[in-house]
Amino acid sequence: MTKEHANWSPYDNNGGTCVAIAGADYCVVAADTRMSSGYNILTRDYSKITQLADKCAMASSGFQADVRALQKHLEARHLIYQHQHNKQMSTPAMAQLLSNTLYYKRFFPYYAFNVLGGLDGEGKGCVFTYDAVGSYERVGYSSQGSGSTLIMPFLDNQLKSPSPLLLPAKDAVTPLSESEALDLVKTCFASATERDIYTGDKLEIVVLNAKGTRREYMELRKD
């Protein structure tokens, strides 16, 4: 006797791609703004990036309802931190908070694939990349989402720096300037849009540096 399985799943995949690149004194976090469900486009204008702290932004692809719940949870925790410590959370602290938040739902995961970008305590750019249940790693660049398998090899080719695990340690700073990194991100998305049906419409870029935060937009193919 075969068991009847539920036809309803609590999850859906809304697609999309996120990228983050860290530089010597800046960090670029970017995501497309298309939200889809199966072959349907639900909207062309949905932001996947949220600013969690002054110097910290998170981009998440996957199931946007879970992403929104995760963003609200982190914003609430950050507010409590500010009340208790009278200062903003640093990016490495926020990174560990995100990891723990994801792991606390280990048996009913947030279907969210995140990249966290920001400036660390010394003002250097840092990017943290996650899987859906909270394992994380500090890296120089990362991409997540439906277009990540197209973008990551390209970033490896352009930005590959010596592994932080090597001993004797080799210097691992991304040598690009802020404008070069921005161009690189735009190129990534233009190419990913060509070959991934879930990526396109518009690109939202958040740039964090010592002067503050700024947002940029670029049109992508809408087909």
Partner 1 sequence: MMKIDFSGLEPNTSSLRGNLNEFLSGLSTAPEFQIPNTNDFDGFQKESIQMVKPAKGTTTLAFIFKEGVMVAADSRASMGGYISSQSVKKIIEINPYMLGTMAGGAADCQFWHRNLGIKCRLHELANKRRISVTGASKLLANILYSYRGMGLSVGTMIAGWDEKGPGLYYVDSEGGRLKGTRFSVGSGSPYAYGVLDSGYHYDMSVEEAAELARRAIYHATFRDGASGGVVSVYHVGPNGWKKLSGDDVGELHYTYYPVERTSVEQEMAEVSIS
Q: Kindly list the residues in this chain that would bind partner 1 in the complex (CB under 8 A).
A: 3, 5-6, 9-11, 76-77, 80, 99-100, 102-109, 111, 129, 131-137, 139, 149, 163-167
In this complex, which beta carbon is closest to partner 1, that of residue 26 or of residue 113? Answer: 113
Specify the length of the chain in residues.
223
Whether the Cβ atoms of residue 140 and residue 161 lie closer than 8 Å to each other: yes
Q: How far apart are CA 71 and CA 211, in angstroms?
A: 24
For helices 91-104 and 64-85, angle between their N-to-C axes, nearest 10 degrees: 130
For helices 148-159 and 178-195, angle between their N-to-C axes, nearest 10 degrees: 150
In this complex, which beta carbon is closest to partner 1, that of residue 33 or of residue 114? Answer: 114
SS3 23: coil
Q: Which element (helix H / strand E) includes 5?
A: none
Closest distance of CB 146 from partner 1, Å: 12
* Pick from 110, 15, 108, 22: nearest CA to 70: 110
In this complex, which beta carbon is closest to partner 1, that of residue 24 or of residue 169? Answer: 169
In this complex, which beta carbon is closest to partner 1, that of residue 92 or of residue 109? Answer: 109
In this complex, which beta carbon is closest to partner 1, that of residue 10 or of residue 123? Answer: 10
Closest distance of CB 9 from partner 1, Å: 8
Closest distance of CB 140 from partner 1, Å: 10
Closest distance of CB 71 from partner 1, Å: 16
Closest distance of CB 218 from partner 1, Å: 27
